[in-house]
Amino acid sequence: MSHADSAHAVTADAPALHPDYQADEAGFFGEFGGAELPPHLVEPMAEVAREYAAASADPAFQAEYQALLSKYVGRPSLLYYAENLSRKLGGAKIYLKREDLNHTGAHKINHTLGEALLAKRMGKRTLIAETGAGQHGVALATAAALTGLKCEIHMGAIDVAKQHPNVVRMELLGAKVVTVEEGGRSLKEAVDSAFGTYAADPEEYFFAIGSVVGPHPYPTMVRDFQSVVGREARAQILEAEGTLPDYLVAAVGGGSNALGLFTAFLGDESVKLVGVEPGGEGLEGTRHAATMTLGTPGVLHGMRTKVLQDAAGEPSAVHSIASGIDYPGVGPQHARLEQLGRADYVIASDAETLAAFQLLTRTEGIIPALESSHAVAHAVKLAPTLATDEIIIVNLSGRGDKDVDFVAELLAK
Ligand SMILES: *Cc1c(COP(=O)(O)O)cnc(C)c1O
């Protein structure tokens, strides 16, 4: 389809979401999603679902959330035409959605603020979550400080040692960091520990999940809070180019920044959606986190989704150069979008990601997060195969300041 045809019926407001792209009442996107929970957590999670449904339909709640996005996060974020990079690659025009320019430097603040407002509305006093690399913990501690809630972050002992600066940030922001010494002392044990504490006192705590994962309503709720990214990008590209993009490209860990960008475009059938997963050191063995590519249906963290798992259904060990996307599961809506043929999922290896990190830094003076660099790496492959009037929007989910020491170490090798 030519741009003239596709632009014909396009208006600035995104089309309403087709039922294929919405969860049913039990939180299922087709066969994926739902709420697979131990009996004592069924009612607390159902309460979150009811309260979120009421809040999302309440104009006062939405207005309070929108005000925080514009006055605190700094939205709308820029949609930047990366002219140097596009010229260098010789093909499609590449635009970057600059979530790295948000307060705290990534997209996660979009949903932690929404979760904090919902927690307050529900009368909860403490936000609780697990964190791996610490990015979700810092974004949540920030939202807690702003909204006057307490915050408790569970973190494996190994991660506490590895991610020391983020532990300091969380504590400075007033959060209590609980070091988990059980088992492998990493993310999996931190999830169990945080969930256990929450389950013992769901009156006190609001469980604030950090991506479009977990039991219903989190995959829907976190997606809704992130969908501002795509609504802005859609209006911005129509303003800049007078047409819709040909491709959207985003890194996928749990999948929140990807769904944030994709959602407003789901009804625009001409726009191709591409999620990029960590190919790590290669797909043989376990030094990757390519859940969409190699995962099989299973249950993880309260949801039915695609999972990298062994024969016994235990989640596999995973790896990525970017610690924010090394997750053996994926948001259930991504599994559904793939099944519907609406989105494609590809991989970028550690080496391709590192090269893309350097390329963007040198050509545009923008240091991307290693997570976001996976999306840049795919755009580097895709752009030269396209015509110069085609358009790619890459979600630059976060800034790379947190990664510079690690990258310098890798480059020195
Ligand atoms: C956490 C994080 C991600 C991965 O999370 P998604 O839910 O897959 O978006 C990607 N980019 C940055 C910068 C992050 O901090």
* Domain residue limits, the chain: 30-71+108-222, 74-105+228-412
Mutational pocket test of ligand 1: of 100, 102, 211, 353, the residue with most ligand atoms within 8 Å of the beta carbon: 211
Class at the top of the CATH hierarchy for domain 30-71+108-222: alpha beta
pLDDT score at 10: 77
Is the Cβ atom of 135 under 6 angstroms away from ligand 1?
yes
Expressed in angstroms and rounded, the spacing between residue 328 Cα and the centre of ligand 1 is 14
Expressed in angstroms and rounded, the spacing between residue 219 Cα and the centre of ligand 1 is 14
Paired residues of 345 in beta bridges: 275
Is the Cβ atom of 291 under 6 angstroms away from ligand 1?
no
Q: Whose CA is nearest to atom 14 of ligand 1?
A: 324
Q: Whose CA is nearest to atom 10 of ligand 1?
A: 371
What span, in angstroms and rounded, lies between the C-alpha atoms of 233 and 165? 32
What span, in angstroms and rounded, lies between the C-alpha atoms of 314 and 201? 28
Catalytic amino acids? 108, 130, 397
Expressed in angstroms and rounded, the spacing between residue 304 Cα and the centre of ligand 1 is 21
What span, in angstroms and rounded, lies between the C-alpha atoms of 170 and 178? 11
Is the Cβ atom of 158 under 6 angstroms away from ligand 1?
no
Say whether 74-105+228-412 and 30-71+108-222 share the same fold: yes
* CB-based contacts of 56, cutoff 8 Å, min separation 6: 62, 221, 224
Expressed in angstroms and rounded, the spacing between residue 98 Cα and the centre of ligand 1 is 13
Q: Whose CA is nearest to atom 3 of ligand 1?
A: 324
Average pLDDT by stretches of 10, the chain with 413 residues:
49 84 97 96 97 98 98 98 98 98 98 98 98 95 98 95 93 98 88 94 97 98 98 98 98 98 98 98 95 97 96 91 92 98 98 98 98 98 98 98 95 94
Is the Cβ atom of 223 under 6 angstroms away from ligand 1?
no
Is the Cβ atom of 398 under 6 angstroms away from ligand 1?
yes
pLDDT score at 9: 61
Is the Cβ atom of 320 under 6 angstroms away from ligand 1?
no
pLDDT score at 7: 44
Pick the CATH number of 74-105+228-412 from 3.40.50.720, 3.30.1130.10, 3.40.50.1100, 3.30.1360.30: 3.40.50.1100
Is the Cβ atom of 260 under 6 angstroms away from ligand 1?
no
